[in-house]
Chains A and B, each alone.
Chain A
């Protein structure tokens, strides 16, 4: 997952650091941080695929990069916001994707849990999870 200041980095396209986690049996067994390109969105995906991740948890990510990563067999969980450690817990607990961890204005899962007024609705209809 791309991180910044202890939170999920808001925009994957320019994220500077990625936290790599190895997960076995629902527990994190190894972790390390690596620098990312962060300047040219075009090189972000190639830098990420060098680490051969299976899953990417990230903030906002532009559609072309999602497509490219999906084409390289990475499962993308996008538009996630929150403290990094809390998000890790949520992922291990099978809670992602969900509206509780979604960035404002995006519903993370299939159900829309935005407010009583019902004014919020999900723009990210297509979804990119596999």
Chain B
């Protein structure tokens, strides 16, 4: 650019100045040295920098836009002579917040038509972005759904955490979505096309867990008839998720520490060291700091795991998410079961919001799933909710008549349903609780037309590793 503009004479006259001060788009001009020569009120407001702090400073130090280094709009305009309109970028303000903006440029010339500087106009697009998100109505990362501030912080951090290979420790009560978060991290990471291998460390006894994690060679112990690759081997190149890491024995803690430090391990019955290119995500509901003090958990292992810590809040701390989650689960079960449940009736929503969910999101998911058993279509009503929420015994189904036979049947049905619920849908346990032989129970279930969901509560291991919502 030719010539240098004295600081006192700006390339604008007062009429234009008052216009610039009144508009909501930020406008600044630069001189031939790329120093700010004017900075309007809106520019101050959007960037958070006062005019007197901006004037005379290098443009990129003030504007701090994503395009400054490689793609400066003004630089391009000066080179081509053509103005740029509505180029998208973001700036980083003094609080470290990224503000989306759209930028337009113009060239400034003096009376003789010589280039004396450039002008850049930018618009704050944050409101537009927020409105767009409101329209979408939800914040979602992977299968995690939330509107609350605490979860939003997690969502914001997630891409960067996913991109790095650092070990992550997720802390949260049971049913808060620790596995979902781990999957979301994996899915956003460069390892996303490689396996994600979850391991529930609390579900297996120590000896089995060791062989699960590291695998074994044929003949390593009785019953080892072939080589079996461990979970670390299966997760090669990808991510391993160690759930309930607080439950592992001291001996296994030592082995795990070694894997984290050296990235190597040996399968049972083998001497050859294997290399593990695996990203580790661990989770626990326990307070590991307390466990360290009680000598139940190794401090060095803790520091290896706790490189990046993510805290999942319990559902009762983010009650504003309940309507969102209900909608999410209703949609999911509708799709899975081919039903068309229309959501929750208003009094039901009130009841759902009044509960404190010791089981967190998984408990809410179960409530909705149970409601689906009783409600085929239309809205979820009070009658479809379990007694813990309604605070009353299960109501008699409306189809019962007045005769002694139908009333007895209704009571039987109610007692059977209650017993099944209390026993986690385990038919055998429910039969015992009711004082019936199990085939009698099956007969009664069939005769009374009681509909049961697929899970039969027999297999404990599968239930504890079920995804939490």
Contacts and interface: CB of A to CB of B under 8 A. Distances in A.
A105 B53 contact: yes
A47 to B, nearest CB: 9
A64 B160 contact: yes
17 contacts: A10-B63, A10-B68, A11-B68, A13-B92, A14-B66, A38-B69, A42-B162, A46-B160, A49-B166, A59-B61, A60-B92, A64-B156, A72-B166, A81-B57, A117-B52, A119-B50, A124-B94
B157 A106 contact: no
B80 interface: no
A66 B96 CA distance: 8
Given A103-B62, A104-B53, A124 B157 contact: no
Contacts of B159: 42
For chain A, which range describes its interface: under 10, 10 to 19, 20 to 34, or 35 or more residues?
35 or more
B422 interface: no
Interface in B122-177: 156-157, 159-166
The 9 closest A-B pairs by CB, nearest first: A105-B49, A63-B96, A123-B94, A60-B92, A60-B64, A46-B164, A10-B60, A42-B159, A104-B53
B58 interface: yes
A72 B97 contact: no
Interface in A4-63: 4, 7, 9-11, 13-16, 38, 40-43, 45-46, 49, 59-63
A4 B165 CA distance: 27
B162 A124 contact: no
Nearest to B44: A105
Interface string B83-103: 000000001111111100000
B95 A63 contact: yes
User: Is the contact region of chain A dominated by helix, strand, or loop, or is it mixed?
Assistant: loop
A105 B96 contact: no
B70 A16 contact: yes
Interface of B: 47-50, 52-54, 57-58, 60-66, 68-70, 91-98, 156-157, 159-166, 307-309
Nearest to B36: A104
B69 A15 contact: yes
Interface of A: 4, 7, 9-11, 13-16, 38, 40-43, 45-46, 49, 59-68, 71-72, 78-79, 81, 103-106, 114-115, 117, 119-120, 122-124, 128
Name, among B54, B95, B156, the residue most crowded by chain A CB atoms within 10 Å (CB to CB): B95
A78 to B, nearest CB: 7
Given A45-B164, A105-B62, A4 B94 contact: no
A13 to B, nearest CB: 7
A105 B163 contact: no
Given A63-B95, A79-B94, A103-B62, A4 B164 contact: no
Contacts of A79: 94
Contacts of B48: 105, 123
Contact of B98 (A4, A13, A106): A13
